[in-house]
Structure 1
């Protein structure tokens, strides 16, 4: 619950004061992109990446794809269940935060080319249906509470 409250407060601050959040936040048109992070992962496993998004525009948009040089493909996932198929997009409704977290909505990094180690950084290109593409730096971090 505390993690969710911090996420909401962080997104609200990002939307209200984008100039204060430049260190590790991004903006692509009306899309605010918060702190992007991933869990450590071994090369033989998939990775999970997380990035909170907020659509500050008046029209809906969608995250339709993501790609990175650290893995073969990136799937858009609603949860950790392997029997659920990947999603074709994440819908970003106007004014609604789109959080991501372990065991819930996330980007699944398939076919890692090297382990993801604590404190490492790498980029993922996020592709939005209307806003276009942007490169985002992800930080490899321990799960909240660890």
Structure 2
């Protein structure tokens, strides 16, 4: 006499309560992982500052660069006017540009960087960026350091820079 295996098979989920519990658990996991994705974003008024990062520096280096994005969700333009950090003696906003002869130049930006209403500005390699001048300690891969950004209208916000590997191309840090 053979018995059907199917008759003794147990359903994967026995009840509606179990199904609901698993769905809630899955949503909680999704929320927890999404929080980690957005954990490196900061806000100041209508401004969203996305993923501040830097690169590790070689021993003895006196400068480091910093990068981030600033998204203005408001109806009025704002301006990043200054940066301060305990990692360096001073911090400046710089811009890299290539002139008509193909010569790349880097200069300090006076008057800050405008963040137009409803727009986003990326401080990134080869463009606007932050220069941390007179480093007090080397920046090592995996390190974090804080800096305070001052905006004309939104005020100040302290952010955490994450250090990527030295000299390498950074990962895509455009997500907030």
Question: Which residue of 2 is the match for residue 120 of structure 1?
Answer: 143
Segments of 5+ residues of structure 2 without an aligned counterpart are: 1-33, 98-104, 172-176
Runs of 4+ in 1 over 3 A off after TM superposition: 19-22
- Cα distance in 1, alignment partners of residues 61 and 69 from structure 2: 27
Q: Deviations over 1:54-112 (max 9, x none)?
A: 11110110000000000011110111734x34332010000111012112110001000
Q: Is the Cα contact below 8 Å between 2:50 and 2:69 reproduced in 1? A: yes
Question: Which residue of 1 is the match for residue 170 of structure 2?
Answer: 144
Structure 1 position 116, deviation (Å): 0.5
Question: Which residue of 1 is the match for residue 40 of structure 2?
Answer: 24
- Cα distance in 2, alignment partners of residues 87 and 56 from structure 1: 24
TM-score by length of 2: 0.66
Question: Which residue of 2 is the match for residue 72 of structure 1?
Answer: 89
Q: Is the Cα contact below 8 Å between 2:47 and 2:73 reproduced in 1? A: yes
Q: How do residues 49-128 of structure 1 correspond to structure 2 at under 5 angstroms?
A: 49-79=66-96, 81-82=105-106, 84-128=107-151
Q: RMSD in angstroms over aligned alpha carbons?
A: 1.8
Q: Is the Cα contact below 8 Å between 2:93 and 2:108 reproduced in 1? A: no
The number of residue pairs the alignment matches comes to 126
Question: Which of the two has higher C-alpha Rg?
Answer: 2
- Cα distance in 1, alignment partners of residues 155 and 84 from structure 2: 13
User: Which one of 21, 24, 34 corresponds to residue 50 of structure 2?
Assistant: 34
TM-score by length of 1: 0.79
